[in-house]
Amino acid sequence: MGFIRPRTMWIAIALSILLNLNPAEAGTRNSPPDSINPVDLETFTRGFLAGIMKANHVPGAVFVAIHNDKVISCFGMGTADLETHRPMTADTVVRTASISKVLTSIAVLTLCERGKMSLDDDVNRYLKGISVPSKPWDSPVTIRNLLTHTGGFEDRWTATEADDPVAEVSFSKSLSHIMPRRVFPPGEVYCYSNYGMALAGAAVEGATRRNFQSLVKKTILNPLGMTKSGFTIDQGMEKDLATGYFSAPDPYPAQMAYFKEVPAISFCSTARDMGNLLRALLKDGQLNGRQVIPQEAVKKLLTPAFFNHPSVKGATLGMYESQAGDVEGIEHGGDVDGFTSLLFLAPKKSFGFFVAFNGDVSSMRDYLREALADRYLSGSRPRKPAAPTTTTPSTPKGDEGAQRPTETEDISGSYRHIRYSRSTVEKAYLMLGPTVTISRSEDGSLTVSYPEAWDRSTQEFHPEGKDLFVSEDGAHLALRRDPSGRVKYIFIGDAYETYEPVPLMENPRTTRILLWSFGAALLISAAMFSFGTFKAKSTRWYEDAPRWHQKWAWILCFWILGWSFLLSIRLCDLNMGYSFRLGIPWQVKSLFTLPILGCLTLIPPTLALARRPMDSKPFELPLFLCCFGLGAVFLGFLNTWNLLGFKF
């Protein structure tokens, strides 16, 4: 996720004010939601977008807003394609990325209302040619689990893209080849999963025996009048498709990607079409007097169905709760190379909007949401934290029997997001990755510091109950513990923000220390081998250990192989990283033989130590044991990051 520096945000806001506001309009701020002025909203939004797009070098945007079942603003601005200078309009097709999950959820919930599926059925009942492995001691993965991202899957991205759009048409055939491992019991914790939502789409195909894309088009998109929308791009959509850009001082185009997890990420649409979807969602599935989506399906889509913790915002069957100022909302964002988007609904205010940029700075959409909520929906500023209380919230699932900590227990440390691959080489991307740091003060409050690259302000949370804290803007931080009483998860603000403690050996600081140690072992091995070789040939000083330098040769060979592997993998990632999305090339896979060869080079020095441990000068043996011992640690280090063996 990208973030805008606060200074950049204020520049953008100032630009929007200078471009669009005058003293006469100042009185419209925080007006009641039933009196939104369409002209004022569009003028303000255009100005705000112009400022924030200029500050972040984003070419274009589309926007549509709905209030009281009416489209009060719908426009495109900026450029859809910098090469042809094609303008962005309300009919420009954009990639909505993960907002695709909203459409997939609607399809599933519609079939449930029609009796063709059940939310609590094992997903394997509907899958064809693929089966989610079951565990005797665990419950099956249900459709409900998939829609609430509680199926328990780890995250992976290698081999999830295809060379051409043909693979998208028959996406369900690819799912068995890219299935991630299950790492959590179903229903234990929210762990965002593209694969889980793709399985839901495959279940739709199994339940109806029809192609997913065509079924959605016929039963949802056509009744909604969304004629330029779909999970596959037809000729009519292609000519109006915006080009996505990586935002930089000089934006450059992103490569068009085709996905195997189609139901989770491939949906494309226009601002005008998304306006019809917003109207239906805000009016119980009705559009122009016709019931186009079952009322119960819409209700389930907009009603929280899973909570990591009772006091932390939860997830619905396809979306998630959010907060904009003091306005409660339901939303879903989307990010894919070159595009970022947001669908936001405030059902109690009968208001919603959709925005998409052909740039990759995702925080722009969040600042727009805050600005619109503050100006048109909020009746007051966000609430201050409640006074500390001893009330304990109800125990979340998976927390039964946990030993509660004392008030002074220290939970300080490093935490990382739970959405990552635990069983494949992708885990190595976390090796020096950023972590969230939590420190606890004497008064019991917590300070949460985010990585500098995230550009998020440090937050302070004050005690509100056992294992529950609240910030000044009303956001909650909650803990969940394992049966021994140790922190298992930390939840910050909403369902997605779930973190786990980082083990000591996987902490970035520990990793840096180990890498420096491995580098020192390489240099010592090279120096001692060179020194021993020189002495053995030139002086009688080394005659009592004529073969010892040969043992250093084996250790040196081990470290050369090890560092050659690490540096080669790094270079491959820098130069071929994008192609990993299509699958890891055989050239890269062949590099994983190097650590195995390195293991073989440790056999001769091991035998030498066993047979003639003192066959050396006194100062050599400690150095040799150090380098030899670090070699064993190095193999454990590679195994920790799934770099030992062929874990693809």
Q: What is the pLDDT of residue 370?
A: 93
Task: Look up the CATH number of domain 84-324.
Answer: 3.40.710.10
Q: What is the pLDDT of residue 549?
A: 62
Dihedral pair phi/psi, residue 73, rounded to 5°: -165, 135
Q: What is the pLDDT of residue 135?
A: 76
Query: What is the rounded CA–CA span in Å between residue 373 and residue 353?
Result: 11
Is residue 246 a contact partner of residue 38, using CB atoms and an 8 Å limit? no
Query: What is the rounded CA–CA span in Å between residue 316 and residue 431?
Result: 33
Find the helix or strand (DSSP H, E) in which 38 lies. Answer: helix 38-56
Q: What is the pLDDT of residue 409?
A: 60
Is residue 422 a contact partner of residue 184, using CB atoms and an 8 Å limit? no
Question: Helices 6-20 and 363-372 sit at what angle, rounded to 10 degrees?
Answer: 50
Q: Which contacts (CB < 8 Å, 24+ apart) does range 426-430 have? A: 426/156, 426/157, 426/158, 426/642, 427/641, 427/642, 428/569, 428/641, 428/642, 428/643, 430/506, 430/641
In 10 A of CB 334, how many CB atoms?
A: 24
Question: How are beta strands 446-449 and 60-67 bridged, if at all?
Answer: unpaired
Cα dist from 27 to 21, 31, 33, 438, whole Å? 11, 8, 14, 42
**Which residue in 156, 158, 147, 81 sits closest to 120, CA to CA?**
147
Query: What is the rounded CA–CA span in Å between residue 339 and residue 480?
Result: 35
Query: Which token pair is 224?
Result: 């909604």
**Domain 413-502 class, CATH top level:** mainly beta
- Divide the 648 residues of the chain into consecutive groups of 10 and give the mean pLDDT of each group: 43 46 40 76 96 94 97 97 96 97 98 96 94 84 98 94 87 93 94 97 96 96 96 91 91 92 97 98 96 97 96 96 91 96 96 96 92 85 39 40 47 94 95 92 92 86 93 92 93 95 94 96 90 66 54 90 96 89 92 94 80 60 86 96 94
Q: 341: which strand partners?
A: 334, 356
- The CA-based angle 321-322-328, given to 5 degrees, is 95
Query: What is the rounded CA–CA span in Å between residue 510 and residue 221?
Result: 52
Residue spans per domain, the chain? 84-324, 413-502, 506-640
Q: Which contacts (CB < 8 Å, 24+ apart) does range 628-631 have? A: 628/555, 628/602, 630/517, 630/518, 630/521, 631/521, 631/555, 631/558, 631/559, 631/562, 631/598, 631/602
**Which residue in 207, 227, 190 sits closest to 110, CA to CA?**
207
Query: What is the rounded CA–CA span in Å between residue 466 and residue 469?
Result: 8
Query: What is the rounded CA–CA span in Å between residue 65 and residue 535?
Result: 81
Q: What is the pLDDT of residue 537?
A: 65
Query: What is the rounded CA–CA span in Å between residue 185 and residue 368?
Result: 37
Whose tokens are 């500050």? That residue is 55
